[in-house]
Amino acid sequence: MTQNKTYDVVIVGSGISGAVIAKTLTQAGKRVLLLEAGLTAGMNLDRNGNYLNYVDYLNTFYQAEIKVPNSPYPNIKDAPSINVIDMQPITATNSPSTTGYLVQAGPLPFASDCLRGPGGTTLHWLGSTPRMLPNDFKMKSLYGVGVDWPISYEDLMPYYEMAEFEIGVSGNVDQIKWPEASTEKQQVALKNKYYGKNYVFPMQEIPTSYLDSIFTGLVKEINNNDPVKFNGKKATIGFSTTPQGRNSVPNPQYPYRDILWNPKKKKLEFQTKKRWNIQLNGVVDIPEDEKYEYLPVGSTWDPNTGLRCEGNASCVPICPVQAKYNALKTLFKADRTKTTIKTQSVASKVLYDEKTKEITGIEYKTYNTANSLTYETHVAKGKIYVLAASAIENAKILLASGIANSSDQVGRNLMDHLCLLTWGLLPEKGYPYRGPGSTTNMSSFRDGPFRKEHAAWICPIDNWGWAWPVFSPGSDLAVALSKNIFGQELRALLADSIPRQLLLHYECEQAPEPGNRVTIDPNYRDAIGNYRPVIHYDASDYMKKAFKAAKDLNNQIFKDAGIQDYTVYSPTIAQDYVGYEGQGYNFWGAGHIVGTHRMGSSKKDSVVNADCRTWDHDNLYLVGCGNMPTLGTSNPTLTTTALTFKAAEAILKQLEK
């Protein structure tokens, strides 16, 4: 059945990428149809409905035996999600591994997940929002690795500001450090250059955790007394605080109130606020008609709870009060009179005219109820089409449709941050499990000439004890009980050890490799006949060298700081286990799934141009992390959201030609 209505734009997916397109376009007066694979119950854009549905997620989470990122959310057969608990080592007898939604062809399993449901993966993201470094855009010309981006950091700066507005980032620009600067003066000069002299984030910095102060204090002593060696040379370890997508105190200096389309200038522009009068005693005198703006940007739902982060460290998989940003908050602000949303509608194929290459519709299957497996097929029609279904799904839909692939790059260059975890007991109590998942990162090894040899990394100080690698604190109890430790002795043991738990993760940037890829195979389909993504994945020596360098560095820090090392790598600790120069390493996925439809300057080796428009089809845009040609060491969503604003501007220009 074909839809009669023709929309200006048809969007697939209601994660942050789809939501930004929907909000920006409808606010500019365009009519959009949004197709969302997840359940109707999750698409609640009114306060009460949202609250009730969210309570369901919370209850599911509390009752879940295994608490992983997808635990709170429904996994439905009609539109299954990638789930880390489905991942298994790939062996001769288990190849490909087909236990979950992904078909894992190996040789290593791809170890990250994402969420198919209204709001997408931001429902269970951590919310860290650093910008990429300027050098990250020039990996080929500076370090001979991967490719250069078709745009520079400077080109993206105005869009980074839009992304920070939309997410409502909390942070302190003065606390962000650039690895290339070695003096305080250079830091200030780079801050002025890369953020602008007077730039502030929408919200003030979330206080850093007590654990951060203990660990950074120990490292400062190392820096002062006997600096560590990195690749054979003395190195000073520096820290940055991490900008975050969670509510803190709104910054009265922040000048913007909205982002709107200017049809005359054909560009997106910030709307500025009236100046707030900040008095000497810190009291803010807000004009009467702007008082509502003192609410944090992200306080869309229940203003009595989500107004401020409460520091309970369960950001992944679910923030109990919705102080953390999620994409439904953006969708809430779309002009509802111009937005049609169809949930339980799974896009399966993009249709096109073979002669003109113009996209003519999107075929989608609407299922009746969760897991019913009965559905109707429809075609959605618009002038322009936008795939925002996540890096793996976007690639899969393109491959299933046989489009946009004249470069043969669709599905290739799948990347993630490969996380090398290290864990130990601090010499004194740092009290993890208080504050957001992470508030400070080790930032010195994010860039440098060593990137010619091995991957760079960012290293967040994690605030959730040893939960990630060994499921603390439950596992601590289990270990003690297995040793017959009970009663007072048990209480004393746990009270001494759990508050001293330290977890670091060296988040190593994966380089693009054409063989790491998403493909499709007619033998592997889901319950309603859509293709399942087939993943081919491995870790190159560029990554393994980084694991070695990071672990060497970590060993020195732990030894010099008196941290008892409990790190163990083995094939049973995590599914991804690799050997390098006689040592074994485990790595974990970060959920930063990128690269599968990269942007570039030439249609020969990229899928989209710098506006996220496919080279092969004038009326097809792809948004999301699949566009990123290289990953850098930043969590990718802020950058991808900046690119999405750039794409929204290009779509509006095209519609108004």
Ligand X SMILES: Cc1cc2nc3c(=O)[nH]c(=O)nc-3n(C[C@H](O)[C@H](O)[C@H](O)COP(=O)(O)OP(=O)(O)OC[C@H]3O[C@@H](n4cnc5c(N)ncnc54)[C@H](O)[C@@H]3O)c2cc1C
Among 389, 553, 561, 563, binds ligand X (CB under 6 A): 389
CB of 327 to ligand X, least distance (A): 6
- Burial code (b: 16+ CB inside 10 Å, e: under 16) for 382-392 equals bbbbbbbbbbb
Tokens of 219: 């490292």
Q: Which two tokens stand for residue 24?
A: 């920006």
* Token pair for 468: 């990630």
Q: Tell which one of 12, 115, 237, 323 touches ligand SF4 (CB under 6 A).
A: 323
Quick one: which of 9, 10, 16, 32 contacts ligand X (CB under 6 A)?
16
Residue 11: partners with Cβ closer than 8 Å, 6 or more residues away: 18, 21, 22, 32, 33, 34, 35, 385, 386, 388
Site string for ligand SF4, 413-452 (x = CB under 6 A): -----------------------x----------------
Binding status of residue 318 toward ligand X by CB under 6 A = no
Q: Give 460 or 600: the residue with its C-beta nearer to ligand SF4.
A: 460
Both tokens assigned to 167:
């997410």
CA distance 435 to 319: 12
Both tokens of 441, joined, read 């990162």
Among 88, 312, 360, 601, binds ligand SF4 (CB under 6 A): 312
Q: Is 121 in the site for ligand X (CB under 6 A)?
A: yes
Q: Does 114 bind ligand X (CB under 6 A)?
A: yes
315 binds, among ligand X, ligand SF4, none (CB under 5 to 8 A by kind): ligand SF4
Tally of residues, the chain: 657
Is 309 a binding residue for ligand SF4 by CB under 6 A? The answer is: yes
Residue 423's nearest CA partner among 534, 565, 286 is: 565
Q: Among 72, 74, 117, 179, indicate the residue that binds ligand X (CB under 6 A).
A: 117
126: left (phi over 0), alpha (psi -120 to 50) or beta: alpha
311 scored as a contact of ligand SF4 (CB under 6 A): yes
Q: Which residue's entry shows tokens 């899928």?
A: 607
Q: How far is the CB of 172 from ligand X (least distance, A)?
A: 18
Residue of 40, 223, 253, 314 that binds ligand SF4 (CB under 6 A): 314
Asked if 199 and 165 count as a contact pair (C-beta separation under 8 A), the reply is no
Select from 23, 31, 124, 246 the one that contacts ligand SF4 (CB under 6 A). 246
315-323, 369-377, 561-569, 642-650 -> range binding ligand SF4 (CB under 6 A): 315-323
Say how far apart CA 350 and CA 122 lie, in whole Å: 25
Site for ligand X contains 126 (CB under 6 A): yes
CA torsion sign for 44, 48, 53, 54 is positive
At residue 349, what are phi and psi to the nearest 5 degrees? Answer: -155, 140
User: What is the rounded distance in angstroms from the CA atom of residue 207 to the CA atom of residue 125?
Assistant: 20
Of 293 and 509, the one with the shorter C-beta distance to ligand X is: 509
Q: Is 321 in the site for ligand SF4 (CB under 6 A)?
A: yes
Binding partner of 624, given ligand X, ligand SF4, none, CB within 5-8 angstroms per partner class: ligand X
Among positions 10, 35, 307, 642, the unique one binding ligand X when judged by CB under 6 A: 35
Q: With contact defined as beta carbons under 8 Å apart, do 511 and 546 qualify?
A: no
Shortest Å distance, C-beta 119 to ligand X: 6
Binding mask 637-656 for ligand X (x = CB under 6 A): xx------------------
Binding of residue 393 to ligand X (CB under 6 A): yes
Q: Among residues 245, 259, 215, 633, which one has the least CA distance to residue 426?
A: 215
CA distance 317 to 509: 23
Q: Please give the single-letter amino acid code of residue 368.
A: N
Judged by phi (left if over 0) then psi (alpha if -120 to 50, else beta), residue 451 lies in alpha
Q: Give the footprint of ligand X on this chain (CB under 6 A).
A: 12-18, 35-38, 69, 112-114, 116-117, 120-122, 124-129, 316, 346-347, 388-390, 393, 591-592, 624-625, 635-638
Q: Give the footprint of ligand SF4 on this chain (CB under 6 A).
A: 246, 309-315, 319, 321, 323-324, 436
